[in-house]
Structure formats: C-alpha cells, structure tokens
C-alpha cells in the first residue's frame, strides 16, 4: 500500500509539474514570431528612437520604473554608454532594432528626421504605439516643420509614420523634469492627444509611472497645441491643463 500510495503521490506531482511546464512553454514568445503583445501584467518593452536629452531622460525614468528599454540613435557607441550608465536591463541598438524591440516606441528626434525614419523603419511601425515627443522648429527642420505647425504636428506625424498608432506627449516640458518627476508624482500634468483609445491608455500608463499625471486633451488634431509656444506649453497642474484645453479648438 505504501508503494502504491507513494506511486500515486508521485504521479499526481509529476502530472502537476508537467502541466506547469507546459503552461510556461506556451507563455514564452517564439523566436522570430515578430512583435507580440506583452503578457498580462508584464511591462511593455520601450524602444527609444533618439536618445538625446528627452529620449535619455525618459528612457532612464522608465528603466528605473522597471520597464525594459532600448536606446537608439545615429551614435550606437553613445547609446551603449548610456545603457551601461542606466543599467536596470537597459540596452542599446540601432533604430531598426529599437523599432523591432519595442511594444511601444518613443520618437524623440528632430522633427525633420521623421520623414526618413518613416521610410527606413517602414513595416516595423505598423500597428505599433508611437509616442511622438518630437517638436517642429522651422529654423532647424525646414519645410516639414512649417507644415506641421500649420496643420498640426499630430496629424502630420501620422502621415509621416504610416500605420503607427500616434500619441502626442512629452512635447512642452523640460527634459530634466522628465527625469525627476518621480520625486513629486502627480503634481504636474502631462497633456496627451491621440485618436486610438488603447494607445492613449498605454501612453497614460507610461506617463503616470514616471510621475506625471496624464491628461487627455483630445484627438490628434489637438496635437497642434502640444508644442512650445502654445497655451499648453510649460508646466501646469492637471486641473490647469483641463481648463486651458477646454478653451482650445481642434
């Protein structure tokens, strides 16, 4: 009886272990299967396209909050040094690698670089949530910046990055503050604009997790106000942003 009882106990344990092992294997992503949605409860991977002041501070803050981050720019060696400084699982790659890596992409490049990036990254952008933190400055970015300021940066970015699920955010607050808001969370609002509800929800989560309070101000047409020189520029409380946004027309 002991032998039979022992065998029965072993069988139950063995069966349980087999089921658990199978569940783990099913949950694991398959190599080469392409970008997949993060598992329930897992933090999405973030690909930073442009690791200057804005990109580096945002990436650093998300890495501290436990997000997997890949920095990318035209200078891979600088990105490697940045990733080493950040630690916390941060890594470096080319823009193409960052676009493939990220469940969410953050564009923090001069606005004039967006047309070329839209072409070179191409299919990797389709279906991806892209937080557009790039601002158009005519003196630096030329004719595309004039168009973005006239028609609205959100609308033009959606054309330049076809297939991406664009959210405008992180456009008019100093880069240094982006790396320090975790010290005083919720005191400063971060306006965001987009047409994709799920993309806005994900962007709001990322905004909140580094200390800002997300405030959705409307669709992409409102992106024309998310840049320096507009009423929504600078630091405002969440309530102030809501009041200002209520006076603006798409």
Residue 11 has pLDDT above 70, yes or no: no
Dihedral angle of Cα 108, 109, 113, 116, to the nearest 10 degrees: -50
Mean pLDDT of 122-140: 96
Q: Which two tokens stand for residue 123?
A: 């299919």
Question: Is 100:49 a contact under the CB 8 Å cutoff?
Answer: no
Q: Which two tokens stand for residue 231?
A: 């009423």
Which of 2-16, 31-45, 140-154, 168-182 has the lowest average pLDDT? 2-16
Residue 170 has pLDDT above 70, yes or no: yes
pLDDT at 183: 78
Mean pLDDT of 12-24: 35
Question: Is 215:189 a contact under the CB 8 Å cutoff?
Answer: yes
Q: Kindly indicate the confidence band of residue 29, based on its pLDDT and cuts at 50, 70 and 90.
A: very low
pLDDT at 181: 83
Q: Kindly indicate the confidence band of residue 65, based on its pLDDT and cuts at 50, 70 and 90.
A: very high
pLDDT at 153: 95
Q: Kindly indicate the confidence band of residue 179, based on its pLDDT and cuts at 50, 70 and 90.
A: confident
Whole-angstrom distance, CA of residue 204 vs CA of residue 206: 5
pLDDT at 40: 62
Mean pLDDT of 90-106: 98
Query: What is the bridge-based pairing of β-strands 165-168 and 189-194?
Result: antiparallel
Q: Kindly indicate the confidence band of residue 38, based on its pLDDT and cuts at 50, 70 and 90.
A: low
Question: Is 108:52 a contact under the CB 8 Å cutoff?
Answer: yes
Mean pLDDT of 94-116: 98
Residue 28 has pLDDT above 70, yes or no: no
Whole-angstrom distance, CA of residue 81 vs CA of residue 132: 24
pLDDT at 148: 96
- Residue 193's DSSP bridge partners are 168, 218
Distances (CA, A) of 65 to 92, 219, 238: 18, 28, 22
Q: Which residue has the higher pLDDT, 219 or 3?
A: 219
Residue 173 has pLDDT above 70, yes or no: yes
Full set of structural domains in the chain with CATH: 46-246 (3.40.50.720)
Is the Cα torsion angle 197, 249, 110, 205 positive or negative in sign?
Answer: negative
pLDDT at 21: 34
Percent of the chain with pLDDT over 90: 76
Mean pLDDT of 85-112: 97
Kindly tell me the burial class for residue 68, based on how many C-beta atoms sit within 10 Å of its own C-beta (0-12, 13-18, 19 or more). Answer: buried
Q: Kindly indicate the confidence band of residue 39, based on its pLDDT and cuts at 50, 70 and 90.
A: low
């Amino acid at each position: 009886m002991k032998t039979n009882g022992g065998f029965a106990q072993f069988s139950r344990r063995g069966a349980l272990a087999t089921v658990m092992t199978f569940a783990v294997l099913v949950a694991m992503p398959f190599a080469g299967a392409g970008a997949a949605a993060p598992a329930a409860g897992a933090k999405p991977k973030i690909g930073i396209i442009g690791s200057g002041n804005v990109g580096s501070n945002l990436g650093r803050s998300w890495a501290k909050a436990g997000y997997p981050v890949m920095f990318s720019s035209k200078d891979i060696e600088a990105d490697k040094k940045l990733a080493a400084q950040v630690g916390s699982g941060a890594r470096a790659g080319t823009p193409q690698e960052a676009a493939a890596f990220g469940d969410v992409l953050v564009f923090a490049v001069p606005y004039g670089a967006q047309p070329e990036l839209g072409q070179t990254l191409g299919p990797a952008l389709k279906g991806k949530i892209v937080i557009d933190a790039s601002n158009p400055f005519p003196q630096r970015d030329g004719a595309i910046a004039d168009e973005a300021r006239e028609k609205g940066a959100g609308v033009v970015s959606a054309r330049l990055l076809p297939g991406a699920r664009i959210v405008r955010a992180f456009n008019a607050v100093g880069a240094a503050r982006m790396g320090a808001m975790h010290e005083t969370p919720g005191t400063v609002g971060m306006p965001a604009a987009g047409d994709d509800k799920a993309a806005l929800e994900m962007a709001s989560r990322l905004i909140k997790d580094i200390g800002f309070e997300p405030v959705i101000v409307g669709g992409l047409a409102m992106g024309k106000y998310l840049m320096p020189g507009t009423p929504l520029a600078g630091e405002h409380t969440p309530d102030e942003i809501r009041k200002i946004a209520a006076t603006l027309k798409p």
